[in-house]
Structure 1
Amino acid sequence: MARLALELLLNIAARRHDAHVIGQRHNKSGKLTWRPHKTLRSTGKMLSIRIMPQLQAAIDALPAEARADGVLTFLVNDYGRPFASAAAFGNKFADWCVAAGLKPVLCDDGRTRNYRARGLRKAALRALAHAGATGAELLAVSGHSSLDQVQEYLNEVDQEHLAEAAMTKLANGASASSITGGTHAHCLIVSRIGAAISEPPLVHLRLATQDGFPLGQLRGPVENLLSDRFGRISELVGRLAAGTVEVF
């Protein structure tokens, strides 16, 4: 039963109040369809979410005798009856976590708490965001009414992607600096490959330290500027004079 509860909460990102009453009657052509209790008297919105293979496997694995006769909810208590309330289900879920050997954790507010079902709703939405779900798609699963309510999950993914992009650029810059063979700086030539260059040839230069940190932008005659500052690029100057540009 604990595995079924885990898969149910992760699959549909439901609140406890919805999870403990959802059952086979909500299964419509392979989708769980229900009206969330929290918005039942306000928007009355209907949610319909596909049953993923992991959840279906957990449903199929539960023996028929685990439920009392006539019980249609997926989750039941030790007597095979539906949980009396969301709180009762939450308490039982906490017991399952303790039985599984999960230790209490120190939370951001400094308090130590046991694992609870509530955290799985957030975990499900975070997993969807990391899988590439958009804000609108998160709302369609969670039942939230405002993008602000799921923005934290999108921001988390954006931060990771942007940080990874920044570190990749830093790594590429550090790798490029090794081409100069120990000189104090290197240049990145930015122009169109194969484009004709006027006389005197002009390009944009980005100077960087060997660690790849940009120092600034320069623009000037290539033959003068580069020969004065870098010396070891006669081959590159020859290519520039021939009317082509390589990108390093």
Structure 2
Amino acid sequence: MFQEYYDAARLGRALEIEAPKKSKTGSLDNLSERFIDWMQDRVMSGNLSKLTLSSRTTGLNQACDTLDPDGDRMGTLSADLPIEAFQHIVDGFGVKTGAADTCLKALRAAYTWGKTRGFPKHSAVFEAKSGHKSKGGALQWDANDIGKYLSTHGPGSMARLWFCLAYDSHGRIGDMHRLGRENEVMHGDDRYLEWQPSKKGSAFVSIPFGEMLAAELEHHDERDTYLVTEAGAPFASSGALDNKVRKWIIEAGLCVDATDADGEPIYVGKGKRKIVKKVATRSQHGIRKGVAAMMANSGASEFEIMASFGWTEAKTAAIYTKKFARRGSAASASKRMASAAEACKSTKGVPRPVPRGTPSD
């Protein structure tokens, strides 16, 4: 508050500052504030991601700022709330069930942390339902999507370099803005791209350098990071890059019109510049999912996919390998059935594991 004190001093008066209000002990505000402080310490020590902190903080603030039927903030009430109170918070999100689900997850995390620190041990928050149904997450890019994007963003453009980096590295958006020449390593005569993913618990990634990325880099000057802004500076954060990526995707026509809860179009701009807002339908995570599916379809094992994506648990890779293993088994079974049918036609008999002759006519 330096500026406020300085301005007051210039006017020759003392600055009257109202002391920040402290949350009531045992209230929902108190639980949220203490949990957020604890999470911030964990982020500083490298044991929690900033994205998790941001998501949970947003969810908890939304819960605390929700007004109860009497017009009071829910945060001022006792943390020992009944199921109706939590359902009231969730219902306040209306059709935004995804946001409601995020809020509910943040509350559950806070109460799980708080039950050994003087807060309710058996909170009704674990009984509340958001009503959110997953739509399968990010959409995978298909050949048509890739064709549209690359035809829009030609060689030498930052938009194309992002796609080549995202596709050949199949990394997370949270790591792309910091990758550069220093991540290139030679193992014998082979060039590799190596980095430690920022997501907690991820394994170190070391993969052969992609041909598409290598070819695109020939159109760019050498710099500390592969991806830079129009001013030539590295992106300040993954969020800044993500915003730019959405713009590039929309420019390629991979988007839909934005609508409100009533299905009405959302506009941006004024007067003659007023247009319907566009929402990107593809993302970097969709590239990541598509590459994982392609690897599985090509016969890659769970451990091979794990090494390529920095996963430490086989169950994540199994999401992709099981799908194609079932498809392969079904195809194999169909071929066996077709073979059996042909055998029956030619021999008028039934194929058996052990030959026992063929019945007569």
Same fold, TM exceeding 0.5?
yes
Structure 1 CA distance, aligned partners of 2:314 and 2:321?
Answer: 10
Name the counterpart of 1:99. Answer: 251
| CA offsets 1:67-98 (integer angstroms, 9 cap, x no match) | 8xxx4111122222211211121121121112
CA distance in 2, matches of 1:5, 1:128: 21
**Equivalent position of 1:50 in the other structure:** 208
- The amino acid of 1:54's aligned partner reads M
Q: Distance in 2 between matches of 1:130 and 1:113?
A: 27
Q: CA deviation at 1:187?
A: 2.5
Does residue 234 of structure 2 align to residue 77 of structure 1? no
Give the letter for the 1:151 counterpart: A
1:19 matched residue in structure 2: 176
Q: How does 1:1-248 map onto structure 2 within 5 Å?
A: 1-29=158-186, 30-39=191-200, 45-60=203-218, 62-64=219-221, 71-104=223-256, 114-179=281-346, 186-188=349-351, 190-191=353-354, 203=356, 226-227=359-360, 231=361
Structure 1 residues 92-142: Cα deviation after superposition (integer angstroms, max 9, x where no partner)? 11211121122449xxxxxx8621112111122222222222111111111
What code does the residue aligned with 1:78 have?
E
Deviation at 1:28, TM superposition (A): 1.0
Q: Structure 1: any 5+ residue segments left out of the alignment?
A: 106-111, 193-202, 205-221, 232-248
- CA 1:63 to 1:12, structure 2 compared with 1: closer, same or farther past 3 Å? closer
Q: Cα deviation per residue 1:4-35 (whole Å; 9 max; x = unaligned)?
A: 21121122221111112101111111111111
Mapped to 1, the partners of 2:313 and 2:296 lie a distance apart of 16
CA contact (8 A) 1:24 1:72 kept: yes
The 1:113/1:170 distance shift into structure 2, 3 A limit, reads farther
CA RMSD of the aligned region, Å? 2.5
Change (3 A) 1:175 1:79: farther
Structure 1 CA distance for aligned equivalents of residues 243 and 342 of structure 2: 55
TM-score (norm 2): 0.45
Task: Tell me: CA distance 1:158–1:189, structure 2 relative to 1, closer, same or farther (3 Å).
Answer: closer
Tell me how far 1:146 sits from its aligned partner. Answer: 0.7
Question: Take 1:143 and 1:133, find their aligned partners in 2: how far apart are those partners?
Answer: 15
Kindly state the Cα deviation for residue 170 of structure 1 after the two structures are TM-superposed: 2.5
* Greater share of residues in helix: 2
Between the aligned partners of 1:191 and 1:151, the Cα distance in structure 2 is 36
The structure that has the greater radius of gyration is 1
Seq. identity, %:
27
Which one has a larger percent strand, Structure 1 or Structure 2? 1
Whether the 8 Å CA contact 1:20–1:75 is kept in 2: the answer is yes
* Deviation (angstroms), 1:51: 0.4
Q: Quick one: which amino acid aligns to residue 163 of structure 1?
A: A
1:211 corresponds in structure 2 to: none
Deviation at 1:37, TM superposition (A): 0.8
The higher-RCO structure (CA 8 Å, 6+ apart) is: 1
Q: CA contact under 8 A between 1:104 and 1:115: conserved in structure 2?
A: no
Q: Give the count of matched residue pairs.
A: 179
* Aligned amino acid, residue 159 of structure 1: R
Q: Secondary structure at the match of 1:187?
A: coil
